[in-house]
Amino acid sequence: MSTTETDAPLTPAAAELRAVLERIMDAHHAKWGDSDEWDALTDFQRAIGAAGWGAPAWPEAIGGKGLGVIDQLACDAEFARVNAPRRVAVFGVNNVGPTMHAVGTPEQQRHLAAIINGDEFWCQGFSEPDAGSDLGGLRCKADVTDDGFVVNGQKVWTSIGLNATHCMLLARTDPDAPKHKGISALLVPMDTPGLTRRAIKQINGEAEFAELFFDNAFVPRTALLGPLHDGWRVTMATLGFERAGVLSVAGTLVGQVKEMMHSQRLADAPPTLRQKALGTYSQARILEWMGQRALAETTDGPGAVSSLIKLFWSHLAAEYAEVNADVVGIDLIAGLAPDATNQLLTSRSATIAGGTTEVMKNLIGERNLGLPREPR
Ligand SMILES: Cc1cc2nc3c(=O)[nH]c(=O)nc-3n(C[C@H](O)[C@H](O)[C@H](O)COP(=O)(O)OP(=O)(O)OC[C@H]3O[C@@H](n4cnc5c(N)ncnc54)[C@H](O)[C@@H]3O)c2cc1C
């Protein structure tokens, strides 16, 4: 068990989770060791689902625990404290599920139980080769027929796209409407005929993303999430649900930095490296205060401040990964520190995922400073 220190309070919910995790983690380690294979990750997801902790932020009426943001952060700290496996249902739990709950039909909302139990794993088919930051420019099209939609086009950078069972897909349903107005959101099973997926292999050797190709893939009318042609508003709701997630990942990073500060390796490191590490720690504390301040200002998440926190967090993540690599030292080169190596290789992706650094700066200009919006 890791000794990660966090300042998150041990709320009653977090104390309950701590007891649950002790039991689950013992059984998980006995069965899977430290494996991060898909089967091990989904098994963990099912175990926490069976224990009632699959989606603690969801309202109790739909199987969650109705936790507020402070409780969620305290619970995330518990998952981090025990080095719990990556929660691969995250896109379903944090983004797609809440959107279905908000705008889905009763039939669509039946997916919620499957998400929480770890029976369905959802991905997000939003980005395309020429539509990332400019998501509204997406070209994947869904021709509207009498009984459904025929989808043609490509998606890229789909996290867990290789293994996911379902996809929330954005496609253009009205090619003649202004670009943000002719998009619809569709709920697509990944085994739909005409849908193929191809792995994108990363520098760390893993394939966490897929490209999705749609070739006359048919989905029925019941797949439409929200109103026809109004998928942009549905998407904005989905992206809005990610707001609390910004605080959560920031909290995890703060915990990692603190753990590095307490490590024997750093104590043994040369003074120049210790000074560098102290600089990272100072920034981590600033990030922590930014998060606490954001929470104090709103009850449901960081709101407009989320762009500032995301910007600060993503650059600190890269800096921490580099300092930590120096601290780990020769073991990293010898391949004996897979976590540190993985952090070093993947940390820069934080400056792209969920809105790039430049996009965050644009948002800060518009929302925090009230500057004129950039022309589109
Ligand atoms: C870890 C990770 C996970 C991801 N998961 C998913 C997923 O599950 N589903 C999904 O659909 N997508 C996913 N993505 C894709 C992600 O949403 C896009 O990569 C991101 O939106 C940027 O789009 P792009 O790659 O097309 O780059 P572009 O938008 O082409 O940007 C290229 C460069 O131009 C800059 N730029 C673009 N527009 C502006 C502007 N208006 N002003 C100033 N600079 C600008 C950018 O900052 C960047 O430096 C993921 C990405 C990462 C890294």
Between 340 and 301, name the one with better pLDDT. 340
Measured from the CB, is residue 121 less than 6 Å from ligand 1?
A: no
Whole-angstrom distance, CA of residue 187 vs CA of residue 122:
9
pLDDT of residue 28: 97
139-152 confidence digits (pLDDT tens): 999 999 999 999 99
Q: Give the CATH H-level superfamily of domain 242-368.
A: Butyryl-CoA Dehydrogenase, subunit A, domain 3 (1.20.140.10)
Domain residues of the chain, as ranges?
12-87, 122-230, 242-368
Residues in the chain: 376
**Nearest by Cα to 127 from 75, 77, 168:** 168
pLDDT band, residue 43 (cuts 50/70/90): very high
- Of the listed ranges 65-79, 151-165, 184-198, the one predicted with least confidence: 65-79
249-291 confidence digits (pLDDT tens): 888 888 889 889 999 999 999 999 999 999 999 999 998 888 8
Segment 182-186 shows an average pLDDT of: 98
% of the chain surpassing 90 pLDDT: 70
* Cα 341 to ligand 1 centroid, rounded to whole Å: 24
**Nearest by Cα to 85 from 130, 53, 38:** 38
Report the atom number in ligand 1 closest to the C-alpha of 128.
26
Whole-angstrom distance, CA of residue 376 vs CA of residue 356:
17
pLDDT of residue 100: 96
pLDDT of residue 10: 84
Q: Which residues are catalytic?
A: 242
Nearest-CA residue for ligand 1 atom 13 is 157
Between 373 and 230, name the one with better pLDDT. 230
pLDDT at 342 over 70: yes
Helix (H) or strand (E) holding 283: helix 271-297
pLDDT of residue 13: 95
- Of the listed ranges 81-85, 154-158, 245-249, 270-274, the one predicted with least confidence: 245-249
Identical fold at 122-230 and 242-368?
Answer: no
pLDDT at 317 over 80: yes
pLDDT of residue 204: 82
Measured from the CB, is residue 373 less than 6 Å from ligand 1?
A: no
Measured from the CB, is residue 346 less than 6 Å from ligand 1?
A: no
Pocket test for ligand 1, best of 158, 356, 358 (most atoms within 8 A of CB): 356
Nearest-CA residue for ligand 1 atom 47 is 358
pTM of the entire predicted model: 0.91
Measured from the CB, is residue 362 less than 6 Å from ligand 1?
A: yes
135 CB contacts (<8 Å, ≥6 apart)? 126, 127, 170, 235
| Whole-angstrom Cα Rg for the chain | 21
* Cα 268 to ligand 1 centroid, rounded to whole Å: 40
pLDDT of residue 1: 41
Average pLDDT, the chain: 91
Measured from the CB, is residue 215 less than 6 Å from ligand 1?
A: no
Tokens at 82, concatenated: 């025990």
* Cα 127 to ligand 1 centroid, rounded to whole Å: 8
**Could you tell me where the beta strands, DSSP code E, fall in the chain?**
122-125, 141-144, 148-159, 166-172, 183-189, 195-200, 209-220, 224-225
Give the architecture-level CATH label for domain 122-230. Beta Barrel (2.40)
pLDDT at 112 over 70: yes
pLDDT of residue 3: 43
Segment 47-70 shows an average pLDDT of: 93
pLDDT band, residue 2 (cuts 50/70/90): very low
